[in-house]
Amino acid sequence: MDYNKFNIEEKYDNYNNITKVEAEKILLKLDSVIDHDKGYDYYILKGKMLLKLDRMKDAFHALEKAMTFNKTDEVYDLLSFAYYEEEDYEKALYYINLSFGITVDEYIYNHKGKTLERLDRFEEAFEAYYEGLNYALSSYSSYGDVEIFGENLARLGGILKNQYLDNIKKFINLRDYYNLYENYMKLLQVILKEEENDHYHSSSEYVSVKYLELVEEGKYILIDNDYFLEMINIYKILYQIENNSEYEDREYINKIYIDNKVRDFIDAVMERTSLTKDVDIILKVLNEVIGIKNRDYYDYLYHKGFIFMKLKRYDEALEVLSSITSDKKSPYNIKVQSYECIIKKMYEAEDIYKGNYNEYKKSMSDLLRDEIHRIKEDEYLTLDDRCDRIIHNCKRAINLELDNDFWYDYIEVLSLELGEEYEVIVKNQSVYKVIQNYNKAINIYDRLIEVKSDGPHGYYRKGRAIVLVLRLLNSSKTSLKDLVGVHNLDCFSYSEVIYNLNKAISLKSDNGKYFNLLARTHFEIGEYEKSMGYIEQALTLAPNDLYMNLNKVCIYIRRYKYTEAVDYLFKMSYKDMNRGTVRKTFLSRKEILSFLMGIFNLYTRQDKIYYIIAYYFYAIVDFQYDKALTFINNAIEMSDDERYYLLKAKIYFKDGKFKEALKCAEEAIVIDDHYDEAFLIKEKCNEKLTDN
């Protein structure tokens, strides 16, 4: 690269393109000019020719004479060049600076840089080349012309970086924070200007400096001497360097790295300061980092508002924190922190600030509800994550007493929903995983009980989940391999189940499900009398619940009261049963059928058994027409009972055979002409037949 391009003398064609012989001839002609015509043009031309012939003393005289007529950039340029050639660099600099006062171009930037280099004033020379490069860019010079300045910038930048590097190491050892900071800034300014123009040179002289490590090495010397604002200036330049870095340099310097260092710096400042003594400097530091607007912008803004609140400067605090809560871009967690700070401190403040207290509480309540809705809809979150976040937000609302009537009910609804999700058994799921999920459900119910100890649902659902865990643990289908690791789970005892169910009943004694589950718990541990007592209470609340009634039958069977079991089933058959909220029987329904088959030959009224089995296939299990019809026909063959004909009518009716159902209903009426249920089904049959 020709570093001598843009030499100042090349700026003027009538100097640059003249030979020495031609210069001699021009001087001879100039000698013939009369004194009256000798003005600026005469002396400036004469000065150029004398410079060409290296007659420096005469050249100075001619140029200085020209300057008496007109002080132009041309005469200043030529005088600067002349003194440069004579190695009087101070005067050369003096005249080139005068030229800057008139006009600028690539030539005088380059000449000034060269002159400053000769004076070993490298920092100023670097700035001259930097300004020259920017001028060349702004005037749309060719890439080759721009590269001249880029090369000079890289070359001189290398000299300066080595110089600053040595200084920084020296001042770190001396713990000289004043000069250390100054050299940090100088080094980073050079690096920044190089990065801005990195693509305008191809110099092999480029000096690479591990400047991030250098800053880390000496930063605590600055911080320990309260150079807080100065450290922020350093980080600001680092952000600028990062912004101008090439893509491949981002592995070394990137915004995340600087953001983290700024956060560490703020922590260090807080450790070294006190709100009682240093509030002004703390606020100045925060204002500076807020102005950077980095990743943690809202966090620093919140911190500023929090400090104002601590200082009871409420108007300023509300202005800062409200700017966060009203900003759509502010992160959710910072918004919540801001609301919390406002609500807590406004409660403590004077009455004049309590007017908006409820408004802020309502706004925060709405924010939490919206976030919970978003979490529920987020399909990318695991159930564990959704659960933790939802419950955390609910408890936050309750702790701040945002709207207790709403939030106590809402956390209950959400907890029951989440617990139910954990209790859903997925196909091919291992026993261990099922138990683990039940345990998570139990933990949710515990958290609900902690918040809402007067709510029965948490106790009931906890008791139910524990029962299901114990049932799995005691199942013959559960292998030892399935139970590996179960010892790490909170698997409770039946006494724990009974405690929770009794607690639920004490809070709400009108729910048959609670008594049914308590009856089942005692049933499973062999306490059949207690089980019978609780199922009777359940049936008092839900007398027509099919499964609860069947559970009473199950207790009879386990107590070997077979006659009572059969009689109860028989009574059930002509009750108007419904499938309520209970979905399980104490014994499987197949076991009930096996019981009926087993006592068939032992029971004196076999027609009754046939009838009950027909009822079993009609109502207890999913409707099976053929089996129900077969067994009811067997019963009718053995006994002419109006109830048997009525059940047969119901079987036909359920299968859509209305003529046959009508005929059976009439048979029942023949036997008992006051049989209201038979008349009712007869009426329904006639309606169906009329419609058809």
Range in 123-137, 301-315, 583-597 with the lowest mean pLDDT:
583-597
**Alpha helices (H) in 70-210, listed in sequence order:** 73-85, 89-100, 106-118, 122-138, 143-174, 177-196
The mean of the pLDDT values for the chain is 87
Q: How far is CA 93 from CA 84, 199, 596, in A?
A: 8, 30, 119
pLDDT computed for residue 199 by the predictor: 63
Query: pLDDT tens, 477-514?
Result: 666 555 555 555 555 788 999 999 999 999 999 999 99
| Position 593 pLDDT exceeds 90 | no
Mean per-residue pLDDT for 215-231?
95
Determine the pLDDT at residue 555. 92
Determine the average pLDDT of the residues in 53-58: 90
Q: Which has the minimum average pLDDT: 109-123, 452-466, 634-648?
A: 634-648
Average pLDDT for 199-215? 74
Residue 144 CB: number of other CB atoms within 10 A? 10
CATH 1.25.40.10 domain locations along the chain: 591-692
Question: How would residue 534 be classed by pLDDT, with cut points 50, 70 and 90?
Answer: very high
pLDDT digits (tens, 9 = 90+) for 236-269: 999 999 998 876 677 788 999 999 999 999 999 9
Mean pLDDT within 39-59: 90
Retrieve residue 447's tokens: 């958290």
Supply angle C-alpha 651, 656, 661, rounded to 5: 50
pTM: 0.75
Q: What is the pLDDT of residues 319-346, one digit of tens each?
A: 999 999 999 999 999 999 999 999 988 8
Contacts of 276 (CB under 8 A, 6+ apart): none
pLDDT of residue 145 exceeding 70: yes
Name which CATH class applies to 1-95.
mainly alpha
Looking at residues 668-675, what average pLDDT do you find? 81
Q: Report the distance separating Cα 84 and Cα 94, nearest Å.
A: 11
Paired tokens of 493: 């005892």
Identify which has the larger pLDDT, 633 or 7: 633
* pLDDT of amino acid 676: 82
For residues 335 and 318, is the Cβ–Cβ distance under 8 A?
no
- Alpha-carbon distance 264 to 394, whole Å? 32
When pLDDT is cut at 50, 70 and 90, the band that residue 2 belongs to is: very low
**What is the average pLDDT across 437-441?**
90
Mutual orientation of helices 642-654 and 625-638 as an angle, nearest 10°?
160
| Average pLDDT value for residue range 265-291 | 93
pLDDT digits (tens, 9 = 90+) for 635-649: 888 888 888 888 888
CB 391 within 8 A of CB 449: no
Residue 120 has pLDDT above 60, yes or no: yes
Q: Which two tokens stand for residue 569?
A: 């089933």
Mean pLDDT of 565-576: 80
What pLDDT, on the 0 to 100 scale, is given for residue 3? 47
Q: Are 661 and 677 in contact (CB under 8 A)?
A: no
DSSP state of 545: B
What's the pLDDT at 267?
95
pLDDT(35) > 80: no
Please name the residues in contact with 6: beta carbons below 8 A apart, sequence gap of 6 or more: 106, 107, 109, 110, 111, 145, 148
Percent of the chain with pLDDT over 90: 48
pLDDT of the residue at 1: 42
**pLDDT top residue among 219 and 17:** 219
> Residue 407 above 90 pLDDT?
yes
pLDDT score of 491? 55
Is the separation of the CB atoms in 628 and 659 below 8 Å? no
Which whole number is the average pLDDT over 209-225? 93
Least confident of 169-183, 220-234, 272-286, 548-562: 548-562
Q: What pLDDT does residue 125 have? A: 95
Q: CA 485, CA 48: separation in Å to the nearest integer?
A: 98
Q: CATH fold of 591-692, please?
A: 1.25.40
Q: How confident is the model at residue 87 (pLDDT cuts 50, 70, 90)?
A: very high
Look at residue 431 in the predicted model and tell me its pLDDT.
81
pLDDT tens digits for range 649-663: 888 898 888 888 888
pLDDT winner (highest mean) among 120-129, 560-569, 650-659: 120-129
Q: How far apart are alpha carbons 573 and 615 in whole angstroms?
A: 6
With cut-offs at 50, 70 and 90, classify the pLDDT of residue 457.
very high
**Distances in whole angstroms, Cα of residue 20 to Cα of each of 24, 33, 51, 172, 258:** 6, 21, 10, 58, 61
